[in-house]
């Protein structure tokens, strides 16, 4: 049960969503955008958040797009992880999405809700970082398209009142050789100790990580070291780990030292799998 009252809004256009957010904000109602609601409902139940209004984006047509526009794959923010996996336009993204939660939760969890969730994992963002995706953002300044790297440089950066409309991925990335490894403490459902998604493009391996640091990331310097074939693989991994963008996390899933051990093995598996392809 959610132990407080809140208002529910379901706009049918981008402009309506933006205007309602501004108006509700001005009335002091502390509005929040709503995708699948899995995180919002959990946090509201334990009163970690207390929005006075939620703005459900699921009736905004652009947030439900899933298909190609010219040479780009368009994925609306409200497309669920289950739909992404079933339609499978980008196999690396499908496999990453399939690693999140369980089927029942994935029927609700949206692309936008996963990449803007409060949790440090946000695994669906990894294939977007690797494919240099662009995202369309709407807010009171209008609609803008920006690189995913601008929004996901360690911290998520959206202005207050902005929301993700859709993601744009260049078609050339969709069929590249890839691997995805998700290592958990136990079982097949749960948050990662280490997740690595990787693509091979023009002989170079590109890697992205979740579960390692308190945010998902890709590092050009780590990729440069991992691709230095003049060094043995174990040394490349050792040197790449020295370039992590933040200390390795300790949380209920595992300690930093255990995560580091799992990370080393998973990076070796990644190089081994992609170097031969
Ligand atoms: C059992 C379980 C296991 C899970 N395991 C994992 C895991 O291993 N890895 C992982 O990455 N995730 C995992 N998740 C998912 C994660 O914890 C969140 O619940 C989920 O990502 C939230 O998605 P949602 O669509 O329900 O978002 P919501 O609950 O609707 O919103 C979450 C946040 O995103 C914001 N938001 C929503 N849509 C937009 C938008 N279009 N633009 C801007 N902001 C937006 C909301 O305002 C809110 O702050 C798990 C969830 C469950 C229930």
Protein residue with its CA nearest to atom 19 in ligand 1: 39
For residues 253 and 108, the model is more confident at 108
| Best residue among 14, 52, 58, 101 to mutate for probing ligand 1, ranked by most atoms within 8 Å of CB | 101
Q: Is the pLDDT of residue 18 over 80?
A: yes
List the beta strands (DSSP E) in the chain.
7-9, 31-34, 53-56, 66-69, 72-76, 134-139, 142-147, 152-153, 155-156, 163-170, 178-183, 194-201, 204-210, 217-218
Q: Which positions ≥6 away from 151 have C-beta within 8 Å?
A: 135, 137, 157, 158
Q: Is the pLDDT of residue 155 over 80?
A: no
Q: How far is the CA of 161 from the centre of ligand 1 (A)?
A: 18
pLDDT bin (cut points 50, 70, 90) of residue 154 is: low
Q: How far is the CA of 219 from the centre of ligand 1 (A)?
A: 24
Q: Smallest Cα–Cα separation from 167: which of 197, 127, 135? A: 135
Range of weakest confidence among 48-62, 100-114, 177-191: 177-191
Q: How far is the CA of 110 from the centre of ligand 1 (A)?
A: 7
Q: How far is the CA of 229 from the centre of ligand 1 (A)?
A: 38
Q: Smallest Cα–Cα separation from 190: which of 159, 211, 204, 208? A: 211
Q: How far is the CA of 114 from the centre of ligand 1 (A)?
A: 4
| CB count in 10 Å sphere of residue 14 | 20
Protein residue with its CA nearest to atom 23 in ligand 1: 113
Q: Which pTM does this prediction carry?
A: 0.96
| Best residue among 11, 114, 137, 151 to mutate for probing ligand 1, ranked by most atoms within 8 Å of CB | 114
pLDDT tens digits, one per residue of 227-276: 999 999 999 999 999 999 999 999 999 999 999 999 999 999 999 999 98
Kindly list the distances between the CA atom of residue 155 and the CA atoms of 29, 32, 76, 118, in Å, as whole numbers in the listed order: 25, 19, 22, 11
What does the pLDDT average to over 48-52?
96
pLDDT tens digits, one per residue of 160-203: 899 999 999 999 999 999 999 999 988 888 899 999 999 999 99
Query: Could you identify the residue written with the tokens 């899995």?
Result: 38
Q: What is the pLDDT of residue 188?
A: 82
| Best residue among 2, 6, 25, 38 to mutate for probing ligand 1, ranked by most atoms within 8 Å of CB | 38
What angle do helix axes 256-275 and 233-241 make, rounded to 10 degrees? Answer: 130
Based on C-alpha coordinates, what's the Rg of the chain?
A: 19
Protein residue with its CA nearest to atom 37 in ligand 1: 113
Q: Is the pLDDT of residue 156 over 70?
A: no
- The answer to whether 234 touches 267, Cβ cutoff 8 Å, is no
Q: Quick one: tokens of 248?
A: 């390795």
d(CA 198, CA 208): 6
Q: Smallest Cα–Cα separation from 28: which of 11, 44, 50? A: 50
Q: How far is the CA of 34 from the centre of ligand 1 (A)?
A: 10
Protein residue with its CA nearest to atom 53 in ligand 1: 105
Protein residue with its CA nearest to atom 36 in ligand 1: 113
């Amino acid at each position: 049960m959610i132990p407080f009252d809140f208002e529910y809004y379901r706009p049918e256009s981008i402009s309506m969503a933006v205007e309602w957010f501004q108006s509700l904000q001005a009335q002091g109602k502390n509005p929040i955008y709503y995708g699948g609601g899995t995180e919002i409902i959990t946090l509201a139940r334990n009163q970690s958040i207390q929005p006075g209004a939620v703005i459900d984006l699921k009736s905004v047509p652009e947030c439900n797009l899933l298909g190609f526009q010219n040479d780009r794959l368009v994925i609306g923010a409200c497309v669920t992880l289950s739909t992404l996996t079933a339609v499978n336009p980008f196999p690396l993204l499908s496999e990453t999405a399939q690693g999140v939660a369980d089927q029942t939760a994935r029927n609700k969890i949206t692309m936008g809700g996963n990449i803007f969730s409060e949790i440090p994992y946000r695994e669906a963002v990894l294939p977007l970082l690797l494919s240099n995706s662009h995202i369309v953002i709407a807010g009171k300044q209008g609609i803008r398209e920006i690189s995913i790297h601008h929004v996901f440089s360690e911290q998520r950066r959206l202005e207050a009142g902005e929301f993700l409309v859709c993601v744009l991925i260049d078609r050339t990335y969709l069929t590249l050789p890839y691997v995805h490894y998700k290592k958990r403490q136990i079982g097949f459902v749960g948050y990662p100790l280490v997740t690595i998604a990787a693509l091979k493009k023009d002989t170079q391996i590109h890697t992205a990580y979740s579960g390692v640091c308190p945010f998902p990331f890709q590092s050009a310097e780590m990729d440069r070291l991992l691709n230095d074939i003049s060094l043995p693989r174990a040394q490349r991994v050792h040197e790449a780990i020295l370039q992590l963008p933040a200390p390795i996390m300790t949380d209920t899933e595992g300690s930093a030292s255990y995560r580091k051990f799992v990370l080393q093995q998973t990076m070796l598996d990644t190089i081994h799998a992609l170097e031969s392809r």
